[in-house]
Chain A
Amino acid sequence: MTTLNTAAGGKASSAPLMGKDAEPTIFELSQPGRSAYQLRTTGVPQWSAEELFDASLLSDHPVPLAEVSERDLVAHVTRLSHRQFSVDLGAYPLGSCTMKYNPKICDAVASMPGLAGVHPGAPASLTQGWLETFVSLERALCEVTGMAAATLQPAAGAAGELTGLLLMRAYHEANGDVRRRIIIPDSAHGTNPASVTLGGYEVTTIASDDRGCVDLAALKAALDTDVAGIMLTNPNTLGLFEEDIAEIAAALHNVGGLLYYDGANLNAIMGVVRPGDMGFDIVHMNLHKTFATPHGGGGPGAGPVAVSPRLVDFLPGPRAQEVAPGVYDWVKPPKSIGRVHGWHGNSLVLARALAYIEVHGGDGLRRVSERAVLNANWIRQRLSAKFDVAFDRPCMHEVVLSLAKLRKDHGVKALDMAKRIMEEGFHAPTVYFPLIVDEALMIEPTETESLQTLEALAQAFEVALDDALNNEQAVFAAPRTTPVGRVDEARAARTLVQTFDARG
């Protein structure tokens, strides 16, 4: 296949670096008397602090920050950026994180002065463009998920989860129904059980069956009228579709429970199947994953929560709504659980998501999911000759390998392989998740990586495996091509240095 002779666009092993020195902190670059700031000339009288405040309130010394020139600041931050892997640099097959390409148009939208320069407390009459943006996004997200209405306030997926659980609580309480338990499969993201506790519920964990899906018999045994609901990811964290979802939904609904859909894996199913049609009542979406908003090195995200008709009245508020054709206003749902964000949510992230949706359109979103699933299956098939695939059958958008045998026979762990793969010019896959797979390596290539990149990634896995089998020390020593080698995490926890001032 000649196509594979084309160079791989997502392979970053050519990235140049100047040297192996550590970058000084900005505090070490600081020279007393140097400065970068320039503030507006206002003509306001130059009163002293003593003239403005009671002396007892005043600080007797300035807060020491740094004293650097603008040139040195730019050089410092630019060098920091060169010590950072990113989607823009190369493929980032981090399972469960959907690290797809982030279109630059979304940056352009988010920096428009007419969006970025708007105060959140300005009345609706002066912010109609923003309210229309919210309403348009809500409609699109409800269509993708098959839901009736949504709140855009939650700032990330975990905030969406907790919002969803508070919605469940409010719904049951409104029915005079006291329930204490939430069911979670053992393959779930850690945020799920953590959110359950904060929602005031107890976690009941159920095991997965030998196909990697919810064990229906175990689920049914756990169900009674004390169960407020279940939290599921579908496709689940193994990248497998829960084929029994209709029966699961019926079982929950039979005991009066609700179904919560963790939208972390929504990228697999857009335009193919919708959570609402599967029987879910509450859905959160990770806009920084599925809608590419992007992830910012750990955030910001956005975690809108969409619900079925019976939960609409409980949504956080106020919500932007079209109150007359082309006229938008804030409306508080009648039984609202209240605010879950200081203002309206991560608005610029929401605008980015709408831009992404408007570029793709409904057909484009389906194509996104098709290609995400195609790429994941291609890499699964390509790697399955030499690696053990956990629960080996066609996957959705991601695939989980188990290196348990490699560890047992050669002492090479999933973490070692992840570090070695990075030497080949790719970000590592996710390691040790989901927890139910021994020595898990979780690969999510996403739809924006080309066939050539997938092939190069597969070859990187094979190179790493070859070392694991024949040259173990090279794997244990990896990565050697990165700005720092393996980091002493135990020392970081043992001798805590959490600020520059905490240095011994």
Chain B
Amino acid sequence: MADYLPHTNDELRSMLDFLGLSSTEELFNAVPEALRLARGLEIADGMNEPDVLSRFEERAKRNTARSDQMLCFAGSGAYDHELPPVVKALAGRSEFVTAYTPYQPEVAQGVLQAIFEFQTMIARIYGLPVSNASLYDGATALVEGVNLGVASSGSNRVVLSAGVHPHWRQVVATFARGTGHHLEVVPLIDGLTDFSAIEGTCGVIVVAQPNYLGGLEDLSAVRALCDRTGAIMVVAADPVASGVLKTPGSYGADVVVGEGQGFGTALSFGGPYLGLFACSIKEIRRLPGRIVGETVDVEGRRAYVTTLRTREQDIRREKASSNICSNQTLMAVAASIQLGWLGTEGFAEMALACARGTRYLANHLKGGSGATLLHPDLGVFRELAVRTVKPATQVVNEMAARGFLAGIAVSALTGGPDPSLSDDVLGHVLLVSVTERRTAKEIDDFAAALEEVAK
């Protein structure tokens, strides 16, 4: 009989009396008798909280890949970044956790201002003037970026680099079934996108920076291609990279999307994550989702409110720029706190530490034979494509026995042949990631184990 219901038996009786009813069943008189469920739900009886917690502890034990017990060298869009106690404590405040969408701004200034600060930080990180209040995750943010690009350019020809994360490309393809966008995926050659076959008018060109194999693309060339073809330039960008590298906006990207999990959200088995979306001013009326603006109240005090609302589904209905309603506000609040904690210097330091650790691992692999760098000459940030003699899926399993989550096998992401890699190597490529949390000792041990296992 575990529940959170306040009604006493006396109160139940008096409330039913007040309604002129003799039983709770009569509350459902509007439901035709024939449709009602004649039995109870076949869900086990309720359990008290301590028993439910025990059950979840058992489940947790069966997740051997937990990062506190298995060193995480996996990335591919989900990273083991520092998550300090101060961010957990603040982002877990129930005022943020148990609020709804800020429909009444007078009692929602806390969430609204946090989002305003988040928008400012993301706009700066991506080098564009506009950010929205968040989308579901990086993959669905890309879908929205593509939709915006098609609407803006008037062409539904969408060119996607095969360097975009395979799952993200799969999600774009799923939603293109509804919108009817025409998708063309262009291959990678030696780890970088080969756009040379693209001619004629395009609606949208999408490139990932870095691409999912870790390579750093030439965004100036992509900008020039977009200018030639009339395409909207969409960059799926790792936001952490802006700590060292030029921002995508500085290359003239029209839209930048990305995964914000690395800012204050745990690995979380893939969600809830944080879809980032930034764009140029000229696209602001096509922006998907909510945006918070600064204004004043009746007494002239600074105040915040969701604005440009006429783009949104509850007002524009079938003509809305997107169908999104619930977004990932709590993750955006966490990101604004994490970025406040990192600050200007810490953000740059964290990014540099990722690049240093990645280079340190790459140096180990240069002399290897079981595990080697797939593209030894490419500049990399936080992700390495490692060629393994054994199939990469097997390497992951054997490395787990040695206490390492060694990375992600590309074949597990693509599920089959893919224009990013030739068929003969695809099954032998492991994506490895090093964040600022990995020590030199951990990397040393990892590289030694990998070299042995991958043979």
**Chains A and B belong together in one complex:** yes
B2 touches A487 (CB 8 A): no
**Chain B residues, Cβ within 8 Å of A54:** 379
Considering only residues 77-136 of chain B, those with a C-beta below 8 Å from chain A are: 77-78, 80, 82, 84, 86, 88-90, 92-111, 113-114, 116-117, 119-121, 123-125, 129-131, 133-134, 136
Other-chain residue from B63, B216, B314, B336 in contact with A129 (beta carbon distance below 8 A): B63
Query: Does any Cβ of B come within 8 Å of A413's Cβ?
Result: no
Q: What are 29 sample pairs from A and B whose C-beta atoms fall under 8 A apart?
A: A20-B301, A52-B352, A63-B242, A66-B339, A77-B340, A97-B101, A102-B97, A102-B98, A105-B53, A114-B66, A115-B56, A128-B63, A158-B326, A190-B315, A297-B96, A338-B177, A345-B270, A345-B271, A348-B269, A364-B3, A373-B27, A394-B30, A451-B6, A477-B298, A487-B305, A489-B105, A497-B293, A498-B129, A498-B293
Task: List B contacts of A21 (CB < 8 A).
Answer: 301
B200 CB within 8 Å of chain A: no
Residues in B with CB closer than 8 Å to A271 are 37, 40-41
Q: Is A401 interfacial (CB 8 A cutoff)?
A: no
CB-based contact A296/B330 at 8 Å:
yes
> A340-372 vs B: 1/0 string, CB under 8 Å?
111111111101000101111111111110110
Segment touching A, from B43-51, B368-376, B383-391, B447-455: B43-51
Query: Does the CB pair A194–B171 fall under 8 Å?
Result: no
Q: Please tell me if the beta carbons of B5 and A114 are within 8 angstroms of each other in the complex.
A: no
B271 adjacent to A298 (CB under 8 Å): no
Residue in A34, A39, A121, A316 whose CB lies within 8 Å of B74 = A121
Interface: A405 (CB within 8 A): no
Contacting residues, chain B, for A120 (C-beta < 8 A): 78, 267-271
A-B pairs, 4 with minimum CB distance: A114-B60, A343-B270, A84-B110, A120-B270
Q: Is B325 in contact with A269, judged by CB distance below 8 angstroms?
A: no
* B36 touches A (CB below 8 Å): yes
B360 within 8 A of A: yes
Interchain CB contact under 8 A, A116 and B266: yes
Contact between chains at A491 and B296 (CB < 8 Å): yes
CB pair A84 B379 closer than 8 Å: no
Query: How far in angstroms is the closest Cβ of chain A from B123?
Result: 5
Q: Are A165 and B178 neighbours in the complex by a CB distance under 8 Å?
A: yes
Cβ-neighbour of A486 out of B106, B247, B308 (below 8 A): B106
Chain B, 165-196, contact with A by CB distance < 8 Å: what is the 0/1 string? Answer: 10110110111011110000000000000000
Q: Which residues of B contact A1 (CB under 8 A)?
A: 14
Residue from B63, B137, B295, B356 in contact with A487 in the complex, judged by beta carbons closer than 8 Å:
B295
Q: Is A176 an interface residue (CB 8 A)?
A: no
Query: Whole-angstrom distance from the CB of B360 to the nearest CB of chain A?
Result: 5
A396 within 8 A of B: yes
Report if B35 contacts A (CB, 8 A). yes
B350 near A39: Cβ-Cβ < 8 Å: yes
Complex partner residue of B178 from A9, A166, A246, A495, CB under 8 angstroms? A166
Residue of A123, A365, A479 most packed against chain B (CB within 10 A):
A123
Determine if A178 is an interface residue (Cβ-Cβ < 8 Å): no
In the complex formed, the residue of A with least CB distance to B171 is A339
Chain B residues contacting A117 (CB-CB under 8 Å) are 66-68, 266-267
Bound-complex Cα distance A129 to B315 (A): 42
Q: Is the CB of A62 within 8 A of B348?
A: yes
Residue B313 is within 8 A (CB to CB) of chain A in the complex: yes
Interface presence of A210 (CB below 8 A): no
Residues of chain A from 55 to 81 with CB closer than 8 A to chain B in the complex? 57-59, 62-68, 70, 73-74, 76-78, 80-81
**In the assembled complex, which residues on chain B have CB atoms less than 8 Å from the CB atom of A203?**
317-318
CA distance A252 to B103 in the complex (A): 36
A371 touches B245 (CB 8 A): no
Tell me whether A288 and B72 are in contact (CB under 8 A). Answer: no
Q: Which residues of B contact A344 (CB under 8 A)?
A: 269-271
A502 within 8 A of B: yes
Q: Does A443 contact B (CB under 8 A)?
A: no
